[in-house]
Amino acid sequence: MAHEELAWQSKLVLLAVLPFAGTDVLLSCFAWATESAAVVVWVIGLSALLGLITWRLRAATPAAAAAGALITASLMFSTAEFPCEPWHTALISVLAVSLLAFAATRVGRRKKERLGTAEARRGRSAAQVAANLGLAALVASEPVKIWFLNSRWLPLRAHSGTLMPAMALAALAEAAADTVSSEIGQVLGGRPRMITTMRAVEPGTDGAVSVAGTLAGLVASAIVAGAGSWAMRGDFALFKLSCAGAVFGLLFDSLLGATLEKRGWLNNDAVNFLSTASASAFALLLLALAPLPGIG
């Protein structure tokens, strides 16, 4: 009953992400078509292909696969440079998140089914995809980029070249870390403990953490941050910022689960969206506090 009562939060996440991403993709198609139609073909084609593969593998519902393709296209357009090389866009980061999530959800599936925590066999919903990937598309979009570039806050303007990739990559790395830590922790983590009280609880409890699950999440965040830093031609500073943001977001996710989600105030989609937002915000904070003109 509580899940049904909070379904509006999942719809709100979809409303916050999909219209924005759709508009961004449409405008980007027109903008890139005048400079290089090949970029449009690559972005739309590869995004659609990834969505189709995700659906065929039953990792997502048809609606979720379409939402994922739209968000991926938005991220690719936002990180593409001319001349465009698809492997030097956010596609690699999204692919890393997808592969890690796909593998983690299938590890120990029988045990998860006995616990009642296994992901539905039809795959993730559109709201789940938007909650995990949508924030990255929002912060990497052209309108947000222009707003930050016009910011009067000197530290942000000084780090403008690293700002948007770091915020987007931190959100993607957190999404991977959250999924992997939860899925692996249920199988290998033994008896987890609540992050707020450190009391032992049943696997799958909102806000529960385990050593094995947390370590797995840290590894996942490093993989996504590393892949994304290479793909977007970033330096070690981008990798560090993304990892730091992901770790903060992972802990924030558990804290929200142990408090607001446990009390029935937030559903899982809202928690995931807010956690990716906290990862981006933490990366932003670190950049704002960094010495000028770069990170020491």
* Residue 149: how many other CB atoms lie within 10 Å: 12
- pLDDT given for residue 151 in this prediction: 66
Please give the pLDDT value at position 296. 42
Report if residue 296 sits inside a domain: no
Query: Across residues 110-131, what is the average pLDDT?
Result: 80
For residue 1, pLDDT over 50 is answered with no
Place of tokens 């959250």: 178
pLDDT digits (tens, 9 = 90+) for 220-246: 999 999 999 999 998 898 999 999 999
Q: Are strands 208-209 and 193-194 parallel, antiparallel or unpaired?
A: antiparallel
CA 33/CA 40 separation, integer angstroms: 6
Question: What is the chain's mean pLDDT, rounded?
Answer: 89
Which residue in the block uniquely carries the two structure tokens 């915020």? 167
Does residue 9 carry a pLDDT above 50? yes
- Which residues fall within 8 angstroms of residue 160, CB to CB, at 6 or more apart? 148, 149
Residue 294 included in any domain: no
Q: Considering the domain boundaries, does residue 169 fall inside one?
A: yes
What are the structure tokens assigned to 225, written together?
């941050």
pLDDT band at 295 (very low <50, low <70, confident <90, very high): very low
pLDDT for the residue numbered 273: 98
Q: Which pLDDT score is estimated for 156?
A: 61
* pTM greater than the 0.85 cutoff: yes
* Angle formed at CA 68 by CA 66 and CA 72, multiple of 5 degrees: 120
Percentage above 70 pLDDT, the chain = 90
Per residue in 154-180, pLDDT (tens digit) is 556 555 667 789 999 999 999 999 999
In this prediction, residue 157 carries a pLDDT of: 57
Q: Rounded to the nearest 10 degrees, how much is the dihedral formed by the CA atoms of 248, 249, 254, 260?
A: 120
State the residue range of the domain holding 176.
Answer: 2-289
* Most confident region among 11-15, 85-89, 108-112, 234-238 by mean pLDDT: 11-15
How many domains are contained in the chain? 1
Q: What angle do CA 187, 118, 252 make, to 5 degrees?
A: 75
User: Residue 139 falls within a domain, yes or no?
Assistant: yes
Give the pLDDT score at 270. Answer: 97
Average of per-residue pLDDT across 66-83? 93
259 domain-assigned = yes
Quote the radius of gyration of the chain (alpha carbons, Å): 18
Name the residue with higher pLDDT: 115 or 223. 223
Averaged pLDDT, 16-41 = 93
The answer, yes or no, to whether residue 89 has pLDDT greater than 90, is yes
In a domain, 252, yes or no: yes
Over residues 188-215, the pLDDT tens digits come to: 867 889 999 999 988 778 898 999 999 9
Per-residue confidence at 152, pLDDT binned at 50, 70, 90?
low
pLDDT at position 155:
59
Is residue 262 scored above 50 in pLDDT? yes
The pLDDT assigned to 294 comes to 45
